[in-house]
Amino acid sequence: MTESARLHTRRVFFALWPPSEVLETLDALADRIAKICGGRRTRRESLHMTLVFVGAVTQEQLDRLLAIGGLIQGGAFAMNIDRLGYWPHNRIAWAGCSEMPSCQRRLYDSLSANLHGQGFQLEKRPFVPHITLARKARCGDLPILEQPIRWSAAEFALVESLPQPAERQYLSLASWPLRTAVDKKICKEC
């Protein structure tokens, strides 16, 4: 990539945005965890679950990503956010699922396969569904979530990460619905 092309790239990823009732609960949880672990809590409007991080793309690649999003035929699913975790190597406190729903796995696999098929290079680390609650945190023992947070995912989005002075801002570029039981094409396990 030339220097000129590098200056005109956009940093993007596919993600799930929480519905309003889940966002309320996650926002309160982010506040609680930041008080326990310190660091910088994730702002309410930035709380999301990344499906596939793509990285810096050109406009031509962005157009291909939008086309890929439109091709994905995933089923709606519900997940239980039922555990808290901490990654010391990057100092992130997070909430996630003990068990990934099979439809979420298929959505991730379908996105990854389509992206690889179009020549996109993706991270090699395993997919761990999570919501970042705090960055630059220092956590010892985390509390146990007394009650799981039930999240019904009905759509996924292509999101741009915009640099800001304090924290990145996320802008949804496009979203696509996941099929529900009414569509009769939802995956049977979800």
Between 155 and 185, the higher pLDDT residue: 155
pLDDT in the model for residue 20:
95
pLDDT in the model for residue 140:
84
Is residue 137 a part of any domain in this protein?
A: no
Question: What is the pTM assigned to this prediction?
Answer: 0.88
Q: The domain that contains 17 carries what CATH number?
A: 3.90.1140.10
Q: Would you say 168 and 162 are in contact if contact means Cβ atoms under 8 Å apart? A: yes
For the chain, how many structural domains are there in total? 1
Token pair listed for 44: 């309410």
- pLDDT of residue 62 exceeding 90, the answer is yes
Sign (positive/negative) of CA torsion 124, 126, 130, 134? negative
What mean pLDDT value characterizes the chain? 90
pLDDT in the model for residue 105:
95
Q: Model confidence at 185, in pLDDT bands (50, 70, 90)? A: very low
- pLDDT of residue 2 exceeding 60, the answer is no
Is residue 136 a part of any domain in this protein?
A: no
- In which domain, by residue range, is 57 found? 8-29+43-84+96-131+152-183
Is residue 63 a part of any domain in this protein?
A: yes
Is residue 58 a part of any domain in this protein?
A: yes
Q: Would you say 169 and 47 are in contact if contact means Cβ atoms under 8 Å apart? A: no
- pLDDT of residue 182 exceeding 80, the answer is no
Is residue 89 a part of any domain in this protein?
A: no
Is residue 102 a part of any domain in this protein?
A: yes
pLDDT single digits (tens) 13-59: 999 999 999 999 999 999 999 999 999 999 999 999 999 999 999 99
Beta strands in 64-167 (DSSP E): 77-81, 83-87, 92-96, 130-135, 149-153, 155-162
CA distance 135 to 103: 29
pLDDT in the model for residue 165:
74
Contacts of 108 by beta carbon, 8 Å cutoff, 6+ apart? 51, 52, 127
Q: 56: which strand partners?
A: 11
Is residue 172 a part of any domain in this protein?
A: yes
Percent of the chain with pLDDT over 90: 77
Is residue 3 a part of any domain in this protein?
A: no
